[in-house]
Structure 1
Amino acid sequence: EYDELAEAYGRQAFEQLHPYDEALMLYRGKGCATCSKTGYRGRAAIHELLITSDEMKRLIQTKGRVAEMLALAKSEGMTTLVQDGVLKSLQGLTDFRQVKAVAIK
């Protein structure tokens, strides 16, 4: 499952953020009577925020390609929706299955 997380986050960035080791713990909802066997209680939001630089504004105004905009946003430090979900799954706030359900087409 580490490989799946790394691919979703961006392998190179993920390996810098969280190198693989045997102590890596991934969480899954277990379920009980209180949560109707879902393993979840409440909600945990995942976020993506784009702060526009002058270069990003230029790409938007000139109807630049989405791939260019995404590459620029990531290079300027934006955390994508999937990346935020991966981070929250590593913290045990959710699991990657739930992240995939809401953030990956």
Structure 2
Amino acid sequence: MATVKVSDATFEEEVLKNDGLVLVDFWATWCGPCKQIGPALEEISEELEGKLTVAKVDIDENPSVMMQYGVRSVPTLMLFKGGEPVATKLGADAKGNIVKWVQDAAA
């Protein structure tokens, strides 16, 4: 399953009402590190299909959700479990480190 594009209008339905794990990537088109981790997030979404949904929120197009969760820099990765935020990771990182962070936070 590929990453899911989420907007201010669909955030509640796609993330908050999702009973499973959702990794939200707050990103921007002008952000170099965001582009750097994009392919890794696509791979993670496919490798963990059925266990994790990877949602992408473009902060320039969707400022409400960004402000609601206090996102001040991109990329910011936020993990939601049962609709509640459980962990936040700032900045780009290697794929293996992101997977480990998700597994540790979800445990």
- TM norm. shorter chain > 0.5: no
Larger Rg, first or second structure (1 or 2): 1
Normalised by the size of structure 1, how large is the TM-score? 0.25
Higher strand share: 2
Higher helix share: 1
